[in-house]
Structure 1
């Protein structure tokens, strides 16, 4: 399936649509994300389109050299105080990495999740209960922060799915406007603030769920090593691929609205 293209003009109605914290329910999850990073690659739109259902198309962006590209991101972090609304006194901590692509569904911007690596026995809950494409992994984080500044970040992930190595050093430079975007607001909204995600369930059906988080205050980072098995096996990156951008933030709070729903 070839990639369909669209105008690079931004969704002006979406810019500045950062919403205040909503009320969460008994089944919703609240968690504090530590050592949060977004490692983004610019990939060929046609290559990404081959891995998307017909209802979805890659969102595309034009880089400074004139190339039209699609974007995919690996998003690692450590969950702390992961808890359901009906049992706030039961809390868990674990490592997690989400693998996603920036797409359009019926004209609206969203993200497509290839899957998630989770370093926890509880991975069976989303796998079995909601048929989410989540996979067990062993993750080792080594990080050092001074205030909001990341001095050292190392992640090693082992498992049958989602092996990864990441080493980076933070900078004092705020995210700002990244290549392919019109300005900082568009960068923040599209790259760092997707609230609706879609995925292929383990039973073959399509599913969707939504999240909330406040506007992120990310800083740029310099990458020393970055390899993600998921993207390499999909043919989107190689061992020598250089990320489009790497962003980090020491902590932020997320709400995941559950249960996820089949897409009808």
Structure 2
């Protein structure tokens, strides 16, 4: 069965849009208990049944180059810069989505979501390169202590370990439409996105290390990615502005887990 994605919410005048180039989702298998200790009450790691070693959770570094980011009510701006989102796959009140540890953007605009919406963003140098026409195709990331070099796997994959089938891993790994994050100064924020269904290419890591996940105690320098899903271009709608969840309401209780190390 081909994954068809989700219906596109009607774009609003205050939403944002962007084109993403050289997009890759680098995913690691991590202990669910270690991840749970980093999350606020009410945010529950999604556990997956793996062929060896039993159930575990998943986290991803999602890296790409932003192109033509703009709010719909503003003219397009010439932005071409790298971005990395660090996320975990979770459920909140029974709804599947992702928890954002933070975002790194290689542009001065990183201060806008940080100070206007309290999002955990910061600026840093990011280099992303890809050769999609090579044999095999290659993808490379260098951003401080985040580094990955990967090449396309020899044959297409229909199964991904920990998932029941293509529709399962496509919906969880490539198509989360809601995300939660810890706001600066306290509280929880939430926002939504939409994009067409990915048609990802499966890559294999030649080398990979992400210092953020190591400092969080989720991976080690020897950890090998569970999967790398990549695509040359992808359109995104961002449903700005993020909303702030009222404290103490819904599934969230007081307390927000232990402090998270700086990205």
TM-score, length basis structure 1: 0.88
Per-residue deviation, 1:202: 1.1
124, 128, 140: which one aligns with 2:115: 128
- Secondary structure of the residue that 1:146 maps to in structure 2? coil
Per-residue deviation, 1:201: 0.7
Per-residue deviation, 1:19: 2.3
Q: Does residue 1:262 correspond to 2:244, yes or no?
A: yes
Separation in 1, partners of 2:77, 2:228: 33
| Alignment of structure 1 residues 33-182 onto 2, 5 Å | 33-146=20-133, 151-158=137-144, 163-171=145-153, 173-182=155-164
In terms of fraction of residues, the more strand-rich structure is 1
Per-residue deviation, 1:247: 1.1
Q: Which runs of 5+ in 1 are unaligned?
A: 1-14
Q: Which runs of 5+ in 2 are unaligned?
A: 247-263
Per-residue deviation, 1:255: 0.6
Root-mean-square deviation (Å) = 1.7
Which residue of 2 is the match for residue 215 of structure 1?
197
Per-residue deviation, 1:205: 1.1
Separation in 2, partners of 1:173, 1:251: 21
Separation in 2, partners of 1:203, 1:188: 34
Per-residue deviation, 1:91: 3.7
Which residue of 1 is the match for residue 18 of structure 2?
31
Separation in 2, partners of 1:170, 1:131: 37
Per-residue deviation, 1:172: 5.8
Q: Does residue 1:246 correspond to 2:228, yes or no?
A: yes
Separation in 1, partners of 2:136, 2:142: 17
Runs of 4+ residues over 4 Å off in structure 1: none
CA contact (8 A) 2:85 2:100 kept: yes
Aligned residues: 245
**Structure with higher RCO (Cα < 8 A, 6+ apart):** 2
Separation in 1, partners of 2:165, 2:78: 39
CA contact (8 A) 1:167 1:226 kept: yes
- Secondary structure of the residue that 1:138 maps to in structure 2? coil
Separation in 2, partners of 1:25, 1:67: 44
| Alignment of structure 1 residues 4-15 onto 2, 5 Å | none
Per-residue deviation, 1:40: 0.6
Separation in 2, partners of 1:17, 1:34: 21
Which residue of 1 is the match for residue 174 of structure 2?
192
